[in-house]
Every structure is written in structure tokens, then in C-alpha cells.
Amino acid sequence: MAGGYFHSIRLLRSQCQGCVTCVKACPTEAIRVRNGKAELIEARCIDCGECLRRCGYHAIVAETDKLEETEQFKYNIALPPPSLYAQFPPETSAAAIWEGLHRLGFDEIFDVAVASEYISLEIAAYLKNYNGGRKPLISCTCPAVLRLIQVKFPELIKQVVPVLPPTEAAAIYVKNEVMQRTGLKSEEIGVWFIAPCPSKNANIRQSVDVRHTQINGSLSISEIYGKILKIMGGEIQPDKKVTAGSSYGMSWGSYGGELEAAGIENGLAVHGINDVYDVLEQISLNKMRDVDYVECSACSGGCIGGPLTAENKFVAEKNLKLRLSIMRQNEPDDRLATMAQSMICEDFPKSASYVKKLIPRPMMQLDDDILEAMKKFEKMEEVLRSLPGLDCGACGAPSCQCLAEDIVQGKANEIDCIFKLRSSVKRLAHGMLELAKQIPIASEPEEELREDGESDAST
């Protein structure tokens, strides 16, 4: 954990070709290319994984835990999200997926969808009792979006709904329940989230929204999916415990599912980090105050589009929709009645006891000393005015603004700008030409040379 921040995203210098694709893709301007290799600015990275998607040289990876790490615990619990089920065709039963997880060594399975239903009710209640504050309220369930708000839109923190993400709520409940049921100690129980994206793993290691996580680690969906495919089949073992949710909790896996489960009609579902950025910008400008709630997902399509998933996001969306349709054939027509059927207890963790206050994370700090920072800011503005303003990225920074910042921080030079370099080379070449014209040519006239040659010959 460098610079006080933990990141799941890792840059592999040996494979980086310095193409600046990741630089242009990053929504928080957290990557630079220096000396031909990409570098990460720790304070700006939100672990959204957008760079991971775009890199064509596989020079960016997401670190997650390995299945072998479950062996250090006496009892292991898997937390499968709806996005895991979306990797499989709808005709693949949930029981077959559960059996695959059991064969991988998990003693118990607790669907994140169950916790999603409790959190949906908390969101609905908070929205109902919300008085006089600025709208819209903003979803808190995507860690990458929360980090984006911390870094780029700290003024919107007050509009984020203060509830637990379903993953954390599920972990808190199931770990406490297993301790009471089995007599095992907390350190003997491993709780593992099967993650569709790197931001979940980063949030486990350094949480922005829960005081003390009960999740021990995360395993990527792509890894678990492949292992399940090889071993799934047969009936689920009767001695294994499974807690499953309803279709409304399951719908959280795709965009719009959170709104549906919470029964929010005047809401907006936005997905994809660039679109989320645009919407947050409009909320910051107070242009969406007539909307009650905005559901935000950093990944396109929602969690089913995470960079650590195995299936194409459109195929996964189709799979999930068909699975929901099949589930609802056996559920009551009423949303609340359906969710009530999968409610497991009345004392499910209430967010107020566990959620942590979201705080701003300064993205740009030119200097610790305020006077020195002001001088650097003035210098930055001066440098910026001298740059072309094309934001081409050829300098290794995502924009001229970022290059100007890097220059005053001593991390870049003005001639890193290809246009400034070309201008400097042109001036240098012109100066050398003018200088060459002023240099006397030390040579004798041709006739004198001929005469000297004839004299030498006669001699």
C-alpha cells in the first residue's frame, strides 16, 4: 500500500509499451506515461478498472485473492453476487452453481441478493423520510463511484445515501450468525466475496464505507466461473447450508435493479464510469434536482459488465433477465411480498451501526504550504496558457492541464509537449542556420590554388 492508498490495479512495466491508451481512459487522470512506461498516481486512482479494459498489451492487471487462501480457515463462506449467476445460461440451476461452490471447498453459501433486499428497504425508508435536503440522493453501493465522488465531486458527499453496500451487510450478518451457530471464533471463519471488479477488493483492504469489514478477501468471478464449469453437476449435498434471495435481490446485478427492488419510480440508473462522471457533474451543477434517486454503477451494464467477469456483458444481461423471469413465475406478484419470503430475520444488521462517513480525498495538492501552493498555481496557469490546449495525450499526460500541473511539480518538462518540442527544434535549427551564415569560410580563391599548383609542379 503505497502513499497511504491500497489499489488492486497493478501496472506491469515490463509489458507496457507507453501507448497512452490507459492515460486517456482514466476518469480521474490517475495515470501518466513517463520514460516510456505508465505510472500510477496513487491518490487519484479509484480502482474502477477502466484502464484494465483498455490496455491491449495486458500491462495492467487486477490483484485478487486465490482460492488456496481459504485453507487457512476452519469454515469458509462464499458470497456470490447476482453477477456470478449471470455468467451461466438460465437453464443452469442455482443449485448446480451452489454445488460447484461447495466442491471448491466452501462450507456455506450466502447470496448477496438476500442482503440487497434488506438494503433496498433501507434505501426506500431513507428516501421517504428525507426532508429538505438537496436532491437527487445518490446510490452508495459501488465502491468505485464512491471513490470518484471523494476525488472529483466531494461536494456531493452529503447526497450519498448512508447505507451499507449489500456485500458488507451480508458479511456482517452471516459471520455473526455462523459464530453463534457453530461456536467458532471470528478468526476461524473466512468470508469470501466473488468479485466482478477490482474496486471490491480494494474496498475490502481499505474500505470507504464500512467501519470494520467482515470480508476476508475476494475471488474474481472469471477464476471461480472457470473452476465451477469443470466440477459442477449433481445434487447439492444436504449437509451444506445455502441462503438464497428472491428475484428482486437478484436484479441488483444489472443496471436498474436497485431502483426496482427499492420501488423507486422517480429515479435514474446510470452505468459506465464516463456516463456516471457526466451525471455526477450535472448533479453538482444542480441540474437534476427533480430526480429523487440516482443509481450509479462504474461498470457498463452494471456489475454484470465488470472487468473481472467471464461472460460478455450483453450475454450476461440476457442470462440474468431470463433467470429473473423464471424465478418470478414462482413468486408473488407483489414486490414486498416476494422480498418478505426471503427475509431471514428481523435483526439483520442496520446500516447506521456499521456505515462509515464518507470523506473527501484531495486529488490535487500542489504544496503543503498554502503560499507556495498559490505560487505554483500561478505558474501552472502561466504554463497552461503556453500549451496548445489540444489534450492529445502525446506528452504522457491526459490533458494540457495535467501536463502544466506536472511541470510545476517538477515531474515533467515543457518540451514533453510534442508541439512545444517541435517549436523548440525549429527555433534551434533556424538559429544554427543563422549562425552558420556568419562563420567565415577559410579557403583560397580557385585561381590562386591553380597557380600554386603549377608552381609546385615546375619546381
pLDDT of residue 459: 46
pLDDT of residue 361: 83
Same topology between domain 1-62 and domain 67-353: no
pLDDT of residue 262: 95
Helix (H) or strand (E) holding 421: helix 418-438
Residue 160 DSSP one-character state: B
List, in sequence order, every residue forming a beta bridge with 192; answer none if it has no partner: 78, 217
User: How far apart are the C-alpha atoms of 294 and 282, rounded to whole Å?
Assistant: 12
pLDDT of residue 238: 59
Residue 387 DSSP one-character state: S
Structural contact between residues 220 and 308, judged by C-beta atoms closer than 8 angstroms: yes
Q: What one-character-per-residue DSSP string does 248-294 give?
A: HHHGGGSTTHHHHHHT-SSEEEEESHHHHHHHHHHHHTT--TT-SEE
Nearest to 394 by CA among 12, 32, 134: 32
Residues 6+ apart with CB under 8 A from 369: none
pLDDT of residue 409: 86
pLDDT of residue 421: 80
Q: Please, is 291 exposed, middle or buried when counting C-beta atoms within 10 Å of its C-beta (0-12, 13-18, 19+)?
A: middle
pLDDT of residue 445: 55
Cα–Cα distances (Å) from 267 to 146, 261, 291, 310, in that order, read 18, 12, 6, 30
Structural contact between residues 148 and 277, judged by C-beta atoms closer than 8 angstroms: yes
3.40.50.720, 3.60.20.10, 3.30.70.20, 3.40.50.300: CATH of 1-62: 3.30.70.20
Question: In the CATH hierarchy, which fold is given to the domain comprising 67-353?
Answer: Rossmann fold (3.40.50)
Nearest to 296 by CA among 157, 160, 112, 168: 160
Residue 439: strand, helix, or coil = coil
Q: b/e string for 366-401 if b means 16 or more Cβ within 10 A?
A: beeeeeeeeebeeebeebbeebeeebbbbbbbbbbb
Structural contact between residues 1 and 37, judged by C-beta atoms closer than 8 angstroms: no
Nearest to 295 by CA among 337, 250, 263, 343: 263
Alpha-carbon dihedral 361, 363, 365, 368, rounded to 10 degrees: 20
Domain ranges of the chain: 1-62, 67-353, 368-459
Structural contact between residues 83 and 197, judged by C-beta atoms closer than 8 angstroms: no
Strands (E), 88-186: 108-110, 137-138
Structural contact between residues 165 and 215, judged by C-beta atoms closer than 8 angstroms: no
User: How far apart are the C-alpha atoms of 42 and 19, rounded to whole Å?
Assistant: 20
Q: Which amino acid is at 130?
A: Y
Write out the three cell numbers for 313.
Answer: 456483458
Cα–Cα distances (Å) from 415 to 407, 424, 430, in that order, read 10, 8, 17
Under-50 pLDDT residues of the chain: 1-2, 459
pLDDT of residue 429: 83
User: How far apart are the C-alpha atoms of 316 and 67, rounded to whole Å?
Assistant: 24
Strands (E), 113-182: 137-138
CA-based torsion, 252, 256, 258, 263: positive or negative: negative
Write out the three cell numbers for 459.
Answer: 619546381
Write out the three cell numbers for 204.
Answer: 475490502
Alpha-carbon dihedral 23, 313, 110, 219, rounded to 10 degrees: -40
